[in-house]
Amino acid sequence: MAPYPRSRLLYENDDVERVNAFEKQGYRTAPILYVNGSRVPDDVAAKARSNQTLLSFLRDEMNLKGSKLGCAEGGCGACTVMISKKDNESGELKHISVNACLMPVLAADGCHVTTVEGVGSVKGDNLHPIQKAMVEMHGSQCGFCTPGIIVAIYSLYANNCSTKEIEEHMDGNLCRCTGYRPIWDAARSLCDDAEELVRGPCGTPCRECPERDECEQDCNVEDKQKAATKDKVIVTSSKDKMKMKKSLTACKPDWAEQPKQMFPADLLDASSGDSLALTKPLMVVDNTEFHGAGTWFKPTTLVGLLKLLKEFGGPVGGGYKIVVGNTEVGIETRFKNSVYPRLIYPGESIDSIFQFSATPEKVVFGGCTPLSFIQHECERLSKSDSTYARTLMPVHDMLRWFASTQIRNVACLGGNLVTASPISDMNPMLASMGANLVLARIGDDLKTIERRSVPVSEFFLRYRTVDIQSGEFIEKIEVPVLPKAFEYVKPFKQARRREDDISIVTSGMHIKLTPKDGAFVIEHAALAFGGMAPKTVMATKTAEVLIGSLFSRETFEKATECLLSEMNLPENVPGGQAAFRMTLATSFLYKFFLSIVEELKKDVAAIEASPSGFSGISLPLPGIPEVDESELSGATSFVSAEKPSVSGVQTYPAPKVASGLEDKLLPNTDAAKIKGAEDSVGKPVTHQSGPLHCTGEAVYCDDINAPSGTLHASLILATECGGIFEAIDKEAALRTPGIVGVFGAEDIDILGGENKFGPIAKDETVFLPIGERIGYVGQVLGVAVGETLDSAEAGARAATIKYGSPSGPIPVSIEDAIACNSFYEATRHTIARGDKSALEALKEMKDTTGPAKVGDLVKVSGSFRNGAQEHFYLETQSTLVIPTEGDTNLTVFSSTQAASHTQESCASATGTPQSKVVVRMKRMGGGFGGKETRNCFASSAAAVAAKRINRPVLLTLPRNVDMLTTGHRHCFLSKYHATARITENGAKLESVQLQLFSNGGWGMDLSGPIVDRAILHSDGVYYFPNFGIEGVACKTAQAPHTAYRGFGGPQGIAACEHIMEHLAVACSVPKDDFRRSNMYTDNHTTHFGMDVGRTSGKWNVPSIWDRMVSQLDVPKRRRDIDAFNAKHKWIKRGAALVPTKFGIAFTAPHMNQGGALVHLYTDGTVLVSHGGTEMGQGLHTKVCQVAAQAFGIPVDRVYVNDTSTDKVANTIASAASLSTDLYGMCTLDACRQIMARLKPYREKLGPDASLAEVAHAAFFDRVDLSAHGFYAPDSSMCNFNFAREKPADYPADKAENSWKGRPFHYFTQGVAYAEVEIDVLTGNHRTLRSDVVVDVGSSINPAIDIGQIEGAFFQGMGWSTIEEIMYSDDDHTWCGKRSNLFTQGPGTYKIPAFNDHPEVFNVSLLEDVENPIAVHSSKAIGEPPFFLGCSVFYAIKDAVGNYRKEVYGKDSYFEFRMPGTSERIRMQLNDAIAMKAKTKMLGDETAAEAYQTQGSY
């Protein structure tokens, strides 16, 4: 079809007419910008718009694509850049990291911006030492987050940071791949004090010690053992990385001076033209095409600022929004689609609003002073003058956990106060401290500044409404200084995650005591809370109970009862978690009491030691309430605790090239290699793209320089469900400036395409047709395309949808689906082995309630739930479709794990032959299964639009849209009956009957095979003689759920482990002993008939378990935990030892195949193209190692460019952890074909001829130097069928169910130990250590395998502890319209952060193991370690159980659901405080005891 005509429409901006008037007042009208050491040309700077982010400007106008868009809300750090500016007072340079996705580009006026491109480059081997450290220490996997992390670290080093400062401030970046340990190692490796971490207790590094041979210090003994065993086992640790500074900096000794050297001279010179211009205010009017109009003002005086507020405020002023950090306004404009005609950005030259000053009476913070500056000054002043410590350190401590370093660097208290968030951290603190706000405005004479003072405690009127009048501005905040003794302020908060998270409940508490009549009397108390009301609220009634009363336990008990009534919340309160929030409020008050007891002891001791230093206080002083030492453990809090150092040890076998499956299937061509060729396989080679990741030069789909005329796309989504999609009004969208077209189901018909799609059942639509029922909130109804992203999104919003009334039930949860019989029946599978009558009888058998004796059969039953999990790949779904040849051909660049599947979907939707659709995939910024099938609807939508309009179309899903539409890991409900028989030595498993229900969402997608894999892994590593299981996926009103690392396996194992722990408690057998005594042995087979040893390889789980128990001395560790717990009433520790086995293969037989195309060039270099995709797992690197080994050349002579369907056709998704097995083998097949052809030329030219010489000779003899390799595992290893009946002549000695076939080639196995500590009063937990041992066969690349283990462990830990998906369902009616996903970004969904790293994290690859079933005897690794991260969950459960044992006097069963969030931890403890809150909410103590926290399952 003919292309649509381009629209050329402008928004109107009335401020254009005001420009002349403001110029006469001295305003500039163009910004002055510097990026990476150079001034941005005026014509480029002039493109900066008032509503444009710095990230958008850098990427779109300057083509600097290193900084990434990960979330658009400052929650992931992928966009981090460094801002440098000269401090006007000191003249020194200030360097701060900021979120470019939030910072307005015009806020960088007069600043120097450093992006990752300015740090270093692969060009000319110009890597900065930080980048070099990250590469060499394997700190990147997918690499999408890496540029932001590099710049965050670079910014810290620009300020001469210490290791402690690194550990304190890596809170603004997220990584989904690595598990953080290698990033921690790289980040600290260049610190000047890093050497202190590697010195022995004597102060000398072990290897430099003259007494090394005699020294018996542990560190030296350990180091000598490393040296002695290096030929067999390689051991490397975080300490070893700290020794690398010299080698990392050798090529760039002045690296630390780089930020100063890059800083523009014109910005340093106060007399330069730019510096003089920057003293003037700035006004920028946006009158560009297709963008929201707006005007930017940057006043440079307080009078100038207040005049603007007066002019544009009020009913006739037109409105404005003040911007400082843009951390709130940026969210409002991006996600709430707010439009502000004017943004006013106060210049830093306005001293009074950027001040920090202190007198003996008060400390003053400017309203615009950055939070990080306040934080640092509070600490500095507290250390230099103890007078201020008790006033300022609580402020410092609260700010440490306020958002992230990047946010704190730009955000201010004034903005926080005016925003009036009901869950603000600082607002309650300031209110409790008696702080006052000074509000300024300009008088009617436009010269006089009028001021008034408002107490912070009275500033908040109602939800998001404050006592600020038109034209007023918060000039400063005044905080009274506390006296030296008897007056205290404490901060409290609890969130889903410690770092960079919004509080669930936050509080500031203030108390003043007076010695009177032989006792301490409470003279003043102020308790302020966030998260307990629609605004920051003072607990005035509770304060009244305290004031005038004795400082005693009894007084605080009365206050607690009052607080519980004062802060009473209904169960369906907005935000949910009512009982938890009430519990936290009262727990904080109890913590406050305990902490004041401790502080009071210190004050009394100080006064008694030096009475003259405390005027007005006479001796003797009254007694202090007695509190047991174990009870004082409740006074501790992470808020004021130092962030821990983290470390780890990585152990792996010495590199070797093992013989694997290739030597059975392929000819040996080693004779064709050069003499003395160096081995590549088995070595810890760095990631092929590592340097590109670290310099920002790695190109992802959204980074591709799109052709001229490329349009941007935005999906039109359903905002409600259950009714008929009756109509869409496209006209309103088409009237939007810049919109070129709006497309839907009818356009697929016009193209002759197929709207239905799906990987198994074609039960989804690219665009829902009018007249069909809307299945879920977020279902795609159409797509709008425009000249810019802004116009496309505006057009999509403008499309009006007509919805019919909902009809019938809208099942959201699994329970909903069960109630209305909503299942995908095609996914229902069952399997049973053993005594079927015993299995049937299980359901009727009563549960065992009393003690059991030897020979008794113990029966338990119950249920277990595990939640869903968002993939949260840092790069969202992205597709660029380019039509060519008159729109008959399509080239699709897509972030996909399955190039051919994407090809099929785009071809089908557009009515194009697959041969004319080429899908290309360079690399993904993470996938984890989420880009196996769920990219197809987005890619197809872009393809339809591109073909209809015959112009390129780019569709990159915003984070919230990606999370809403692409599905998650399936949550499961497991119901079970199980038995074990008591023996002399413990108990033995007998029978289990298990039902698995998964939440599949509105489309089947891959729910069937996911349930199947759950069924096949629900035995864990344990032998149940009688095993019966049924699984089915439920159809619900959620986005279709899909593959995620583990693919159902972890859900099945989790159900099994829950049953094991339930039985262990019922049998009164220690959990470790019960697990070990019931593990499979070599002669066992699984419930599906596959042996765990013999033909599947060696069964190593029991030996790994025994090794860990011995080496870690687990029994002693448990005794130490018991001893610790006895001394700490409110801090409890727990531990868990958890095993796993994971079956390797696609359970769909046809998917077990792979192809590769290998080219040998005459210069001796090799290009490999294969069907696998690189998403960070190191597949390309391993394939290069396999090819390099085959050709006998260095690995850097082999290259994988991209995955493309015109090079290798009919590819299989990179999934199931099978990619190296498949593509390593097929690549090796191709390599050996070529090497076999070269053998005569090697014989002719001799053993010393280079590969280039051999290839050159063969080429001139017209020998084909290209080969296509193919590998398909033996069908006998991947042919399982649930429905296959037992043949009549099946051998009797074969295992039961083995006639159904074999689902897996082999098992990857491992065991993990975790130790945790929980705060009973808040539910906070920290992981003290984790130790992991995994059997990966003979590793092709141990560094990559260890990286995969660490990354998988972290994802498993996140899934089972802090990651919680929340939908609007019966339990969460406040989350919006039914079926709406509440957790749509990093603000509401929390993946593990840097601070969640185990304080000690050791990973070992099992030595002396091989796997003859795979290439070079290796094993698959991507998914198997995932469940090992759940060891942290079971350790938390153990800690909770340890406390409950004290409450109930015995070890008793309780259902502890996944994830083990802070809420679930706190509310399952059933202590007196929690029970009171639950009883208050429910009105029934029995119900309170059985209460389960709400969750979306």
Active-site residue set: 1423
Count other C-beta atoms under 10 Å from residue 625's C-beta. 18
CA of 1495: how far to CAs of 208, 279, 1324, 1428, in Å?
56, 55, 18, 23
Q: Please give the Cα distance from 168 to 643 (Å, whole number).
A: 6
Q: Please give the Cα distance from 114 to 40 (Å, whole number).
A: 12
Q: Please give the Cα distance from 1073 to 513 (Å, whole number).
A: 53
Q: Please give the Cα distance from 854 to 984 (Å, whole number).
A: 6
Q: Which two tokens stand for residue 1363?
A: 């990651």
Which residues, 6 or more positions from 776, have their beta carbon under 8 angstroms from its beta carbon? 718, 721, 1001, 1002, 1036, 1037, 1038, 1039, 1379
Tell me which DSSP letter residue 1328 carries.
E
- By DSSP bridging, strand 80-86 and strand 93-99 are antiparallel
Torsion of CA 1171, 1173, 1174, 1177, to 10 degrees: -90
Place of tokens 């009254």: 622
Q: Please give the Cα distance from 1212 to 899 (Å, whole number).
A: 8
- Closest by CA position to 1357, among listed 1382, 1326, 1384, 1378: 1326
Tell me which DSSP letter residue 106 carries.
G
Q: Please give the Cα distance from 340 to 294 (Å, whole number).
A: 7
Which residues, 6 or more positions from 54, have their beta carbon under 8 angstroms from its beta carbon? 81, 98, 100, 103, 104, 105, 107, 108, 113
**First-last CA distance in the chain:** 47
User: Which residues pair with residue 878 across a beta bridge?
Assistant: 956
Q: Which two tokens stand for residue 1117?
A: 């560790």
Q: Please give the Cα distance from 1157 to 1168 (Å, whole number).
A: 6
- Name the helix (H) or strand (E) containing 1314: strand 1306-1319
Q: Please give the Cα distance from 931 to 951 (Å, whole number).
A: 25
In one-letter notation, the amino acid at residue 1068 is S
Q: Which two tokens stand for residue 433?
A: 């401290």
Asked whether the beta carbons of 1377 and 1368 are under 8 A apart, the reply is: yes
Phi-psi region of 67 (alpha: psi -120 to 50; beta: other; left: phi over 0): beta
SS3 assignment, position 728: strand
Place of tokens 């008790």: 390
Asked whether the beta carbons of 1334 and 1141 are under 8 A apart, the reply is: no
User: Which residues pair with residue 972 across a beta bridge?
Assistant: 866, 998
Which residues, 6 or more positions from 598, have their beta carbon under 8 angstroms from its beta carbon? 632, 635
Q: Please give the Cα distance from 191 to 196 (Å, whole number).
A: 10
Q: Which two tokens stand for residue 1449?
A: 């006097």
Torsion of CA 1340, 1343, 1347, 1353, to 10 degrees: 80
In one-letter notation, the amino acid at residue 1253 is E
- Closest by CA position to 262, among listed 500, 39, 456: 39
Q: Please give the Cα distance from 1471 to 1450 (Å, whole number).
A: 14
User: Which residues pair with residue 584 across a beta bridge?
Assistant: none
SS3 assignment, position 846: coil
3-state DSSP: the chain helix, strand, coil percent, rounded to 5?
Answer: 35, 20, 40
